[in-house]
């Protein structure tokens, strides 16, 4: 193996800002690969992922902390997968759900012979986060037809290692040997979200909504340096939703600015960014629908690693009017922190219908009116 004199990453290129040390000057980008290992650590997550303290795990002490989980399931009913819809409805309607997603290698460094030489065999790919399993508990409440408040509580199990403080310049010792993989399980960053429908009715062709959220840094507090959560004090976002429906077809676009503390990862920085999502769906039958969506972000930088993108799709099955089950998958297109080469998603949601609640009220009023009619 050739000695690594510089760091780079991302099979599609895109260097992050270099940093200096006494050992060398390094440039780092990101890369990801797929591997078939889905359930190996599920029991470990159940055993210790719900605990307030993490399991014994790798210690990231050299640099800052940032969540590499870019997939955030949309809260509430009438959404796609990660892309949210704008059609809030109902009086005190509520929903509850559980979403599981698995991401393979969402954070990988590639070691190159030089800053520009990343040809095959010139360096060693080093996975910082090998596998990430996330269980997201979701809940929403719609006290009025135009307003919804939601909660997202993720529990994360991650396998990874430290970002190396210095490159390994040895033909016999690799960075992976110097930084063995370990496991961490802890609560992720809990988010509270508010959504307001500002234009259009639930059944109109075009509906608009505004959305805002704030997230507590539970991942950093319970598993510091494991890339499960963002740095304190908080992360927050604000944006808008455009929701279009015509017959069996539906589409939505989400635009959101995300604020979070800027951190130095040694390989570059991560911080606030502009995120977007776009999705479309088709109701094949009353019970079954298919969807496709894309998730991206930008820091308004020409660096490709600052403009990550993943795309995917799947299907939803309505078992009952209230119960929906979903299955889907994503693939990374433009590498960046948090974009895996493959992601699997499984969801289940129970949601009361605002329309049903309104109909119940109407029926109750009609029944009351009939009882109050004077006798002939």
Q: Could you report the per-residue pLDDT of 121-135, keeping only the tens digit for each? A: 555 678 889 999 999
pTM here is 0.77
| pLDDT, tens digit, 9 for 90 and up, residues 29-77 | 333 333 334 344 443 444 344 444 444 444 454 577 889 999 999 999 9
Q: Residue 182's pLDDT is what? A: 85
Question: Does the pLDDT value for residue 13 go beyond 60?
Answer: no
45-102+132-155+185-369 in CATH: which number?
A: 2.40.160.40
pLDDT band of 353, cuts 50, 70, 90: confident
Three-state SS string over the chain comes to CCCCCEEECCCCCCCCCCEECCCCEECCCECCCCCCCCCCCHHHHHHHCCCCCCCCCCCCCCCCCCCCCCCCCCCCCCCCCCCCCCCCCCCCEEEEEEEEEEEEEEEEEEEECCCCCCCCCCCCEEEEEEEEEEEEEEEEEEEECCEEEEEEEEEEEEEECCCCCCCCCCCCCCHHHHCCCEEEEEECCEEEEEEEEEECCCCCCEEEEEEEEEEECHHHHHCCCCCCCCCCCCEEEEEEEEEEEECCEEEEEEEEEEECCCEECCCCEECCEEEEEEEEEEECCCCEEEEEEEEEEECCCCCHHHCCEEEEEEEEEECCCCEEEEEEEEEEEECCCCCCCEEEEEEEEEECCHHHHHHHHHHHHHHHHHHHCCCC
Domain ranges of the chain: 45-102+132-155+185-369
């Amino acid at each position: 193996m050739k000695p690594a004199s510089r760091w780079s990453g991302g099979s599609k290129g895109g260097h992050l800002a270099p940093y200096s040390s006494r050992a060398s000057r390094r440039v780092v980008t990101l890369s990801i690969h797929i591997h078939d290992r889905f359930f190996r650590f599920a029991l470990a997550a159940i055993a210790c992922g719900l605990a307030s303290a993490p399991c014994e795990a790798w210690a990231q002490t050299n640099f800052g902390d940032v969540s590499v989980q870019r997939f955030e399931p949309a809260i509430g009913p009438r959404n796609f997968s990660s892309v949210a819809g704008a059609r809030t409805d109902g009086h005190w309607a509520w929903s509850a759900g559980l979403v599981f997603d698995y991401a393979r290698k969402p954070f990988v460094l590639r070691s190159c012979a030089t800053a520009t030489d990343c040809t095959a065999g010139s360096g060693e790919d080093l996975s910082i986060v090998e596998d990430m399993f996330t269980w997201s508990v979701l809940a929403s409440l719609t006290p009025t037809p135009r307003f919804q408040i939601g909660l997202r509580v993720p529990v994360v199990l991650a396998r990874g290692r430290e970002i190396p403080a210095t490159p390994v310049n040895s033909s016999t010792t690799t960075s992976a040997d110097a930084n063995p993989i370990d496991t961490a399980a802890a609560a992720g960053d809990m988010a509270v979200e508010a959504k307001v429908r500002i234009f259009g009715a639930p059944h109109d062709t075009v509906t608009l909504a505004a959305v805002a959220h704030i997230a507590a840094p539970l991942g950093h507090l319970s598993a510091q340096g494991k890339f499960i959560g963002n740095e304190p004090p908080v992360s927050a976002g604000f944006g808008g939703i455009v929701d279009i429906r015509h017959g069996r077809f539906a589409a939505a676009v989400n635009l959101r600015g995300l604020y979070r503390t800027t951190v130095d990862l040694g390989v570059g920085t991560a911080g606030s960014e502009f995120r977007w999502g776009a999705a479309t769906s088709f109701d094949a039958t009353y019970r079954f629908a298919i969807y496709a969506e894309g998730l991206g972000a930008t820091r308004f930088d020409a660096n490709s690693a600052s403009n990550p993108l993943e795309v995917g799709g799947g299907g939803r099955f309505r078992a009952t009017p209230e119960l929906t089950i979903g299955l889907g998958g994503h693939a990374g297109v433009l590498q960046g922190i948090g974009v895996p080469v493959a992601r699997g998603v499984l969801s289940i949601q129970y949601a009361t219908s605002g329309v049903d609640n309104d109909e119940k009220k109407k029926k109750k009023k009609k029944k009351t009116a009939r009882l109050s009619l004077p006798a002939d």
